[in-house]
Chain A
Amino acid sequence: MTKVIVVTSGKGGVGKTTSSSSFASGLALRGHKTAVIDFDVGLRNLDLIMGCERRVVYDFVNVINGESTLKQALIKDKHCDNLFVLPASQTRDKDALDTASVGRVINELRDSFDYIVCDSPAGIEKGALMALYYADEALIVTNPEVSSVRDSDRILGILAAKSKRAEDGAEPIKEHLLITRYSPRRAAAGEMLSVTDVQEILSIPLLGVIPETEAVLQASNAGVPVIHDIESNAGQAYRDVVARFLGEDVPMRFLTADRKGFFSRLFGA
């Protein structure tokens, strides 16, 4: 049974595309056939982060308009065999999407994929609504700051009201909280919301915490999802997230500041 997972946040710049690319790659690395769709029509980024921008010939909108087949538009990922990218169009806007056509594409993908990851655009308008409409599960990407948490709360309300599952009165979308750009040191200093704060406000289960690292930016610029960087905390954290998503019991990491103070190092606390 294919699962459709939307990666969404409401707010922009919190790490939706970074998370989509690493999460989809992680599922593929674990042997699952995975497709990742860029719903950010007009501002496509996923192909850049996945390092396949130069291979885009046909895109999501072409498929919707019947100008190409799904097979022609899907780009095979460089790094994992099981992963395919359906890029967004850069020259159209979100009005090119509608529920019927998106549903048709998703249904076609269901035939050959285990997981379909929908990378949502920011906001709560058409593109975001289209990305979440067919979702079975949702990754709510949140930064530990009030505006991001507020927007995530808003998008959770929309998931519960405007998705297909909500309209059909089916079992609600399974929600997962993914906190990104987390700095344990700043949270401890009270400059950032803590994981507990965020969880308390959103009251949904925590899937993982991705620490703020330079590796993420470097990976994005290099076009290699950060999950492939096993050395980095973020890469490891994304691997943990995928494992937890697949039902494994993996303890949370990177929640506390690893650089110990002078005295604690001295006394070995």
Chain B
Amino acid sequence: MKQSTKEDLKKKPHGKDTALDIKGSVFTLTVLCLKSADSAAIEQALHEHLSRAPRFFHNAPVVIDVKALRHDVSGDTATTLDFALLTALLRKHNLVPVGVRHAAPEQLNEVITAGLAILQGGSAKPEPAEPPVASATGASATPPPNRMPKHDERSQDAPEPTPRVATTTKIVRQPVRSGQQIYAKDGDLILLAPVNAGAEVLADGNIHIYAPLRGRALAGVTGDMNARIFTHSLEAELVSVAGHYRIFEQQPAADVHGKSVQIYLENERLVITPLI
């Protein structure tokens, strides 16, 4: 019932007769922080960065940030930047320049002439610790080898100057024994050995147990209603997601006992479903 009303709301304002819809959306873009106005120097630096991760930036939309140039000691360096030339340079390297950020008022005309947009987004944020281009290429070395980086999710925008690596996941390889308690703060908990009766595992995020769960498992202990618990074999004493708990005084219902299950909240009710 609720879902259908949502659908209706979505459809009604935009009938079939309109040729287009205008919607706002947020994109993550690569920002090129220029530290020099010299096109030869820019080209060399660009070549260096791109050769390290050529596929990473292929056809990547980029925003040119000229803030560093404005702060340059000689006030006139910024004005010497030729946006038309720069745009051509970037295109030559298979980048797609889309706009300029932190342009000086006297540059605006030139930016527009070069076919670029003037962007103000993210300007409230303090200056990134290091140029995003450098950190983005640095990041291309960090992701696990089995995961091909896609430029849109790895590339940096001003609001997030450092690459986000999920370091908060806690992995436990030893059995969690009666009387022991393991808590994964700010993240997920992954257990590769059983959680025995009388043991307790807690996480701010999800809990994955690739072994039997015989003790207690509490996911989303700081209130994350989307947290889930996964286990290879449900033999638990208690399970809880964001404070909604269930005690198995006897044994879990026959249809889920000893089965691979996931446990999550649906409309504030704890649901246990078998994983096939």
B is a partner of A: yes
Binding site for B on A (CB under 8 A): 124, 150-151, 153-154, 156-158, 160-161, 201, 203
The CA-CA distance from A157 to B198 in the complex, in Å, is: 11
Residues in A with CB closer than 8 Å to B220 are none
Tell me if B180 counts as interface (CB < 8 A to partner A): yes
Minimum distance in angstroms from A34 CB to a CB of chain B = 29
Bound form: Cα–Cα A154–B197 in Å: 10
How far is B194's CA from A124's CA once the two chains are assembled, in angstroms?
Answer: 22
Inter-chain CA distance A251–B193, complex, in Å, is 27
Is the pair B198, A154 in contact by a Cβ cutoff of 8 Å? yes
CB distance from A30 to the nearest CB of B (A): 32
Q: Which residues does B use to contact A, with CB under 8 Å?
A: 174-180, 193-194, 196-199, 214
- How long is the Cα–Cα vector from A154 to B215 in the complex, in angstroms? 12
Q: Is the CB of B196 within 8 A of A160?
A: no
Q: How far is the CB of B210 from chain A (nearest CB, A)?
A: 13
In contact, A150 and B174 (Cβ under 8 angstroms)? no
- Which 4 A-B residue pairings sit nearest by Cβ, starting from the closest? A157-B177, A153-B178, A154-B178, A157-B180
- A225 to B56: give the CA distance in the assembly, Å: 72
Contact indicator B179/A154 (Cβ below 8 Å) = yes
- A203-B175 in contact (CB<8A): yes
Could you write out 25 A-B pairs with CB less than 8 Å apart? A124-B179, A150-B178, A150-B197, A150-B198, A151-B178, A153-B177, A153-B196, A153-B197, A153-B198, A154-B177, A154-B179, A154-B198, A156-B175, A157-B176, A157-B178, A157-B180, A157-B199, A158-B179, A160-B174, A160-B177, A161-B180, A201-B194, A201-B197, A201-B214, A203-B175
Name the residue on B nearest A161 (C-beta): B180
Not counting A153-B178, A161-B180, a sample of 17 additional A-B residue pairs whose C-beta atoms are within 8 angstroms of each other reads: A150-B178, A151-B178, A153-B197, A154-B177, A154-B179, A154-B198, A156-B177, A157-B179, A157-B199, A158-B179, A160-B174, A160-B177, A201-B194, A201-B196, A201-B214, A203-B175, A203-B193
CA of A153 to CA of B198, assembled, Å: 9
Cβ–Cβ < 8 Å partners of B198 in chain A: 150, 153-154
Give the distance to chain B from A257, nearest Cβ to Cβ, in Å: 27
Cα-based distance from A161 to B176 in the complex (angstroms): 11
Who on chain A is nearest to B194 by CB? A203
Cβ contacts under 8 Å, A201 to chain B: 194, 196-197, 214
Complexed CA–CA distance, A24 and B179 (Å): 30
Closest to A156 in B: B177
* Measured CA separation A158–B196 after assembly (Å): 14
Complex interface: chain A residues within 8 A of B175 (CB): 156, 203
Interface of A is mostly: helix
A106 CB to nearest B CB, Å: 25
Residues of B within 8 A of A203 (CB): 175, 193-194
Shortest beta-carbon distance from A47 to chain B in Å: 31
**What is the bound-complex CA distance between A154 and B196, given in angstroms?**
9
B177: A residues at CB distance < 8 A: 153-154, 156-157, 160
Q: How far is the CA of A158 from the CA of B178 in the complex (A)?
A: 9
Chain B residues positioned under 8 Å from A158 (CB to CB): 179
Nearest Cβ distance between residue A169 and chain B, in whole angstroms? 14
Instruction: Provide the bound-state CA to CA distance between A157 and B174, in Å.
Output: 10
* Complexed CA–CA distance, A209 and B175 (Å): 22
Q: Which residues of A contact B214 (CB under 8 A)?
A: 201
In the assembled complex, the CB of A198 is this many whole angstroms from the nearest CB of chain B, namely 12
| B residues in contact with A153, CB < 8 Å | 177-178, 196-199
Instruction: Give the complex CA separation of A65 and B85 in angstroms.
Output: 88
CA distance A203 to B177 in the complex (A): 10
- The CA-CA distance from A165 to B198 in the complex, in Å, is 24
| B215 CB → nearest A CB, Å | 10
In this complex, the member of B174, B175, B176, B179 whose beta carbon has the largest number of chain A beta carbons within 10 angstroms is B179
* Minimum distance in angstroms from B31 CB to a CB of chain A: 44
Q: How far is the CA of A153 from the CA of B174 in the complex (A)?
A: 12
Query: Which B residues are CB-close (under 8 A) to A157?
Result: 176-180, 199
In the complex, residue of chain A having the shortest beta-carbon distance to the beta carbon of B198: A150
Chain B residues near A150 (CB, 8 Å)?
A: 178, 197-198
Q: Which residues of B contact A124 (CB under 8 A)?
A: 179
Q: How far is the CA of A201 from the CA of B214 in the complex (A)?
A: 9
Shortest beta-carbon distance from B84 to chain A in Å: 62
Tell me the complex Cα distance, A156–B180, Å: 10
What A residues does B174 contact at CB under 8 A? 160
Residue of A at shortest CB range from B176? A157
* A176, B176: Cα distance in complex, Å: 17
Separation of A160 and B196 alpha carbons in the complex (Å): 15
Give, as a whole number of angstroms, the nearest-CB distance from B179 to chain A.
5
User: How many Å from the CB of A193 to the closest CB on chain B?
Assistant: 13
**Considering the chains assembled together, what is the distance between the CA atoms of A160 and B176 in angstroms?**
10
Tell me the complex Cα distance, A150–B180, Å.
Answer: 12
**Distance (whole angstroms) from the CB of A225 to the closest CB of chain B:** 30
**B163 → A minimal CB distance (Å):** 30
Residues of B within 8 A of A156 (CB): 175, 177
B103 to chain A, nearest CB (A): 56
Query: B181 to chain A: closest CB distance in Å?
Result: 10
